[in-house]
Amino acid sequence: MIIFSKKETNLKKNGFSYYPKLLTRIEINKFFKSTLDSLNFYNGEKKRFKNFDDIKLSNYILKQKKRNNKFINYLYNSLPHFSSLINLFENQKIRNIASKILNEQPSNLIICEHQFRIDYPKDTNFILKAHQDSSFYQQDGSKKQSLVCNISLHNITAKMGSTILYKNSHSKGNFSYSKKFSHSKNQSTQRQIKEKELDNFKEITIETKPGDVSFYDMNLIHRSGKNISKKIRFSIIARIFNPLHKKFRAFQKISKIIK
């Protein structure tokens, strides 16, 4: 495994790009405040933690989760809709980078499918095995006019399970995957690519700091790392589409109440 930590802008070549400190800690802190407010609201408490790196925050969430893990669902399903999360992705610098790659005006790009991940130490139920996001987000029929965008909320090391990328795997197009729909709410749906396909690519992982932003080609194979640390890994991810494209599939968001 190669640990990566320097700026990389050639997404076309590698399948990913990485911009350290693209966003400020102040911007990240606004979303931290929403996370803290939601956590305190749900648990009826007035806890104060420093930031997403605070080990006391990890310990508190792990303790509360044992008592009643429903509040994790609440955070997971509510926070992606908060403006403090969406505004991070709406940063003009992100639109400008995506605009150059997708060759379309920044304001015409659709940034959607926001996600907040909470990856616990030693978890095996929610880590995502090797996949391409193009298999989950089918708005882009060409699979060449869309991107994944991952914003780092704190200091994430390989030990904390930083995302593992298969360098250059985007250049091979679409891989077949085995569909495993989870039967319980307590497992993530997998669209896993066969292990033997992965041998052809170098595994790399980016150790990130707050405000660092990575972009992946929608066809880049990647997976969650194993969190062997004592800290929770928090991350936010969105997908960026160029809708002014013949193979773009218009889509509608169907709301479901999560029980």
DSSP one-letter string for 185-232: TTS--EEEEPHHHHTTS-EEEE-B-TT-EEEEETT--EEPPP--SSSP
C-alpha span between 76 and 218 (Å, rounded):
22
- Nearest approach in angstroms of CB 206 to ligand AKG is 10
| 35 vs 219 by CB, closer to Fe ion | 219
- Nearest approach in angstroms of CB 141 to ligand AKG is 19
The strand ranges marked E within the chain are: 2-4, 16-19, 110-119, 146-152, 164-166, 177-180, 190-193, 203-206, 213-217, 222-223, 233-241
**End-to-end CA gap in the chain:** 39
Q: Which residue is nearest to ligand AKG (CB)?
A: 224
By CB under 5 A, is residue 113 in contact with Fe ion?
Answer: no
| 39 vs 128 by CB, closer to ligand AKG | 128
| 57 vs 128 by CB, closer to ligand AKG | 128
Chain residues in the site for ligand AKG (CB under 6 A): 115, 117, 119, 128, 133, 163, 222, 224, 235, 237
By CB under 5 A, is residue 133 in contact with Fe ion?
Answer: yes
163: partner contacted, choices ligand AKG, Fe ion, none (Cβ within 5-8 A by kind): ligand AKG
- Nearest approach in angstroms of CB 224 to ligand AKG is 3
| 99 vs 132 by CB, closer to ligand AKG | 132
156: partner contacted, choices ligand AKG, Fe ion, none (Cβ within 5-8 A by kind): none
| 39 vs 128 by CB, closer to Fe ion | 128
C-alpha span between 241 and 219 (Å, rounded):
13
| 8 vs 133 by CB, closer to ligand AKG | 133
224: partner contacted, choices Fe ion, ligand AKG, none (Cβ within 5-8 A by kind): ligand AKG
- Nearest approach in angstroms of CB 155 to ligand AKG is 15
Residues facing residue 152 across a β-bridge: 235
Dig out the tokens for 159 from the structure. 């030990």
The residues, ordered by sequence, that sit 6+ positions from 110 with a Cβ below 8 Å of its Cβ are 139, 240, 241, 242, 243
